[in-house]
Amino acid sequence: MPQANTHQYASFFGANDMGVYAYIIYALDHNIQIQRQLYQPIVPLAHPTAVMLDSAATQLVNNRQVQAFSQSLFLNGGMFSHLSREDRIRTLSALDNLSLDLYLLPSPFQNNAGLIKFVVDALNRFAMFGYYSEWPAYGTTRLNQPNNRKLEYFPLTWQKIGYPGVSFGYRAFRGFLFTMDEVEGGNENRS
Amino acid sequence: MKTDPDVIVIGSGGGGAVIAKELGELGINTLVLEAGPWYGNKKWPEPNKTKGQAKESSDPKDLDGSLYRQQLTRLENDMNDLVTGKFRWGAADRRRTPWYRNIPDQAVLWQSAGIGGSTLHYYSNSPRAFPDAINNEWPIQYNELIPYYEKVEATLPVEFAPTTTKDALFYYGADKAGFSENRTLDVTTIGYRPQPNAILPPNEHLMDPNYSMEELSHMEGCTLSGHCGQGCPYGPSLEKMAKRTTAVSYVPLAMETGNVIFRPNTFVTKVLTAYSSSGNRQIVGVQVRDTWTGEMEEIRAKVVVMAAGCIETPRLWLNSELPYNPWVGRGLTNHYMDMVTGTFDEQTLMDIVGTPSVNPFVGHTSSARLDYPGLGMIEIIGESPGLSAQPLFGFSQHGYNLLKPTDSDIWDLEGRLVGSELEKAMNDYTRTLTLSVITDDEVLYRNRVELDSNIKDEHGAVPLVYYSPSEKSKQRREQLAKIATAILRKAGAKTVHRSDLPPNYFIHLHSTMRMGFVVDTSCEAYQVERLFIADNSVDYNALGGPNPTLTTQALATRTAKRLADKYF
Ligand SMILES: Cc1cc2nc3c(=O)[nH]c(=O)nc-3n(C[C@H](O)[C@H](O)[C@H](O)COP(=O)(O)OP(=O)(O)OC[C@H]3O[C@@H](n4cnc5c(N)ncnc54)[C@H](O)[C@@H]3O)c2cc1C
Ligand code: SF4
């Protein structure tokens, strides 16, 4: 089994430079908590997810559906990080479609189609939300617990796409198409 | 010694806060138990950080608009993150994980715990149900609901949304696509309208440069800031905030009656019953757990109202081992949603709306709609960037556009976008208009909430959720997606992207404790005396497509009266 490196999956969005991988890891590791006999363990999903990606990548490489580079994108990176961006997407897609041998995947994903679909989807959603929300702009405080984060600058993605951020409001009123006074039953009973 | 309340209401969201206010006005002592935190109450100045000194609050003087403003930061990650956001389904303490629901599929189940419940993040769209979806289907008639609709519309209050650029563009496109304006509250024909929203109309000085925007944000009325989903802290005081989550509308009114106590951070883990002399199961009270300390307690009452929402109400029934009913948790509907996004070029926009951008984040988040009885509805969604990118380009049953380009000639792009496709789509953000497709979803017995027999959390077995749409719902969604796209094209969109959202996207949940199956026409459980339900779960069906909350609030108003007449 190739060694898992949890840092590798954010890179396929080009989002790794903003540290979004750390957002994804946090989200995966803080998603599920269940009751055991006397305590309530959190079920950390980031590490097994990374192992799943490597394991899926290995299957696709072995079946010649994707091609591995000899160099990894990361130090000690697993098989997933030896793939091109498009092949990494192919790997995610194969997991999404459950079109590989689910028996070969690590626990808790082994033969667990529902969890595979849930987590692979969550990887995509978390990457989007991590990258396009204000999360990266929490800067050095971004991995603090949520109450102790502070915005350190204006989010770069917001600047890039033209979202002005928190606003008191806009002078954008163009009138009403119609109001409650103008529909039957609208305002008759109001004081 | 403190006396037991007459009525316990479980949950202070869309329905719970409404029935509490109505009961309070009828002079009935009511205790509302809410699992989540309380924003804007002086007794919990740091609601996510510490337990606070107090257990409960009933004095309207405890409410504080400036605290609300400080806590509702209007930042989407801080407020809406499903794992750590202030409006999440989880305990007040955000260091902890959210409360788990097992949905074995691609899924987002979006609810919020807290005083206000899921109306903390809702967009306040408050349309009535389609009359035809009630008449001949529900065990009650639409006419019976009208006086209650009117009462809720006046109390929230509801007003049609003001027009901003995105609405002007939508109306133009809808008109060109052959639809006409529908000037009504009771929708029986196809047409477009501004959203009837539980949002105060803009202040009369909004366009007057003599008032700064900051000043205006402290005055009464919507400032068109577009933060509805992040919670709206704009207004002169808590009770006058522009967006009418029940936390600022019905909760303060309930406190004003002097008969209602709200207790946050309190998770009900069991409804307690006993056999009456006539051999029927009847209410004794509830068992609760403090979400900060884990302390357990029993509280007794004559009547219990479940208003914990479409997932937790059936879960609580099942975890309480209330009598078997094959329909408990069954018949779940979710309006099988989809989204299409049109991108416009500057010149087209200049020609049609006179500005080079749409700026979808300006104005009410959801501000205009097309009603289509028989199919459902279409409405504008103009969210902030992260909350736009996530469902539009990151959440799809289609797969990746890169690997599987759309095979339809209706859409230019379909499914998840990555790399340069994503970058392009988001770089055009200010020139986009997104329409949400909301389907009149058929009730099916197989769609359900049940208990996961393998996984428990601190409140008992967790909910396991299954949903897959019927063939009819799929066809209706397809038709609506095409109509929405036609509106965008007629408005001049150069490219249109279709999300093809997965079925397990839960924004509007209904009908898991249906009237006529689990509750009677007064919303009292058939099998347990003095147990009522006042949330979206009592809906008989998905209302024909309209957003659920106003109907829940009308029914809760009606249920309060019936409950009081019968037992007090
Ligand atoms: C992004 C978004 C936008 C939306 N916009 C609209 C809109 O514009 N219009 C519309 O009509 N609908 C909208 N909705 C849906 C709307 O939020 C719901 O229809 C509405 O809030 C449902 O009311 P409810 O009473 O059934 O449940 P909720 O509002 O979810 O209230 C349930 C309450 O019960 C509490 N609770 C649950 N279990 C327990 C327990 N065991 N013990 C104690 N407390 C408990 C919860 O914490 C919660 O406060 C939107 C939803 C989302 C996600
Ligand atoms: S647009 Fe929404 S958030 Fe902004 S002031 Fe109006 S109601 Fe409040």
Burial of B180 (0-12, 13-18, 19+ CB in 10 A): exposed
Binding site membership of B553 for ligand 1 (Cβ less than 6 Å): no
Q: Which residues lie below 8 Å from residue A172, measured CB to CB, with a gap of 6+?
A: B164, B165, B224, B359, B362, B363
Q: Which residues lie below 8 Å from residue B58, measured CB to CB, with a gap of 6+?
A: B255, B258, B260, B261, B262
pLDDT at A13: 44
Hey, whose CA ends up nearest to atom 9 of ligand 1? B125
Q: Which helix (H) or strand (E) holds B439?
A: strand B432-439
Its domain, for residue A131, covers 20-163
Contact B119, B113 (CB under 8 A): no
pLDDT at B3: 83
pLDDT digits (tens, 9 = 90+) for B499-530: 999 999 999 999 999 999 999 999 999 999 99
Q: Positive or negative, the Cα torsion across B549, B551, B555, B557?
A: positive
Binding site membership of B473 for ligand 1 (Cβ less than 6 Å): no
Note the residue count of chain A.
Answer: 191
Distance from CA of A2 to the nearest CA of B (A): 26
Residue of A nearest to B452 (CA): A34
Q: What is the mean pLDDT of residues B340-368?
A: 98
pLDDT digits (tens, 9 = 90+) for B458-476: 999 999 999 999 999 999 9
* Ligand 1 atom with least separation from CA of B509: 19
Q: What is the mean pLDDT of residues B89-93?
A: 97
Whether residues A168 and B74 touch (CB distance < 8 A) is answered with no
Which residue, B279, B340, B271, is CA-closest to B484? B340
A95 DSSP assignment: H
Whether residues A173 and B168 touch (CB distance < 8 A) is answered with no
Distance from CA of A9 to the nearest CA of B (A): 13
3-state secondary structure of B342: strand
pLDDT at B247: 98
Q: How far is the CA of B16 from the centre of ligand 1 (A)?
A: 10
The span from the CA of B80 to the CA of B420, in Å, is 26
Q: Which residues lie below 8 Å from residue B114, measured CB to CB, with a gap of 6+?
A: B12, B34, B36, B37, B38, B39, B86, B87, B92, B120, B247, B264
Contact A73, A81 (CB under 8 A): yes
Mean pLDDT of chain B: 97
Note the residue count of chain B.
Answer: 568
Token representation of residue B396: 């799809």
Q: Is B421 part of the contact surface with chain A (CB cutoff 8 Å)?
A: no
pLDDT at A41: 73
**Closest ligand to B225 CA?**
2
Q: Which helix (H) or strand (E) holds B464?
A: strand B460-466
Nearest Cβ partner for B76 among A90, A115, A134: A134
Q: Spell out which residues of chain B touch residue A40, defining contact as CB-CB under 8 Å.
A: 457-458
Burial of B520 (0-12, 13-18, 19+ CB in 10 A): middle
**pLDDT mean values, one per 10 residues, chain A (191 residues):** 42 58 89 68 86 96 93 83 94 97 94 94 95 96 94 96 98 97 78 53
Q: Which residues lie below 8 Å from residue B1, measured CB to CB, with a gap of 6+?
A: none
pLDDT at A190: 64
Q: Spell out which residues of chain B touch residue A190, defining contact as CB-CB under 8 Å.
A: 154, 157
pLDDT digits (tens, 9 = 90+) for B1-59: 468 999 999 999 999 999 999 999 999 999 999 999 999 999 999 999 999 999 999 99
Domains of chain B by residue range: 7-160+229-332+509-567
Q: What is the mean pLDDT of residues B427-452?
A: 98
Hey, whose CA ends up nearest to atom 35 of ligand 1? B11
Token representation of residue B464: 């396991």
Contact B396, B498 (CB under 8 A): no
Q: Positive or negative, the Cα torsion across B139, B143, B148, B153?
A: positive
Burial of A179 (0-12, 13-18, 19+ CB in 10 A): middle
The span from the CA of B359 to the CA of A56, in Å, is 41
Contact A57, A78 (CB under 8 A): yes
pLDDT at A112: 94
Contact B532, B303 (CB under 8 A): yes
**Closest ligand to B216 CA?**
2
Q: Where are the alpha helices (DSSP H) in B428-469?
A: none
Q: Specify the number of domains making up chain A.
A: 1
pLDDT digits (tens, 9 = 90+) for B273-321: 999 888 899 999 999 999 999 999 999 999 999 999 999 999 999 999 9
Q: What is the mean pLDDT of residues B78-104?
A: 96
Nearest Cβ partner for B458 among A35, A89, A130: A35
Whether residues A134 and B402 touch (CB distance < 8 A) is answered with no
pLDDT at A5: 45
Percent of chain B with pLDDT over 90: 98
The span from the CA of A181 to the CA of B195, in Å, is 15
Residue A144 lies in a domain: yes
The span from the CA of B34 to the CA of B558, in Å, is 22
pLDDT digits (tens, 9 = 90+) for B197-239: 999 999 999 999 999 999 999 999 999 999 999 999 999 999 9
Residue of B nearest to A15 (CA): B419
pLDDT at A4: 43
Token representation of residue B14: 């869309």
Whether residues B216 and A133 touch (CB distance < 8 A) is answered with no
| Locus of tokens 């009900």 | B268
* Ligand 1 atom with least separation from CA of B266: 43
Q: Which ipTM score applies to this complex? A: 0.95
Which residue, B63, B405, B95, is CA-closest to B239? B63
The span from the CA of B188 to the CA of B191, in Å, is 9
Q: Is A161 part of the contact surface with chain B (CB cutoff 8 Å)?
A: yes
Token representation of residue B115: 């005083």
Q: Positive or negative, the Cα torsion across B121, B125, B128, B130?
A: negative
- Listed by number, the residues of chain A in 92-111 with a beta carbon closer than 8 Å to a beta carbon of chain B are 92-93, 96-97
pLDDT at A8: 44
Domain B7-160+229-332+509-567: which topology?
Answer: FAD/NAD(P)-binding domain (3.50.50)
Q: Which helix (H) or strand (E) holds B555?
A: helix B549-567
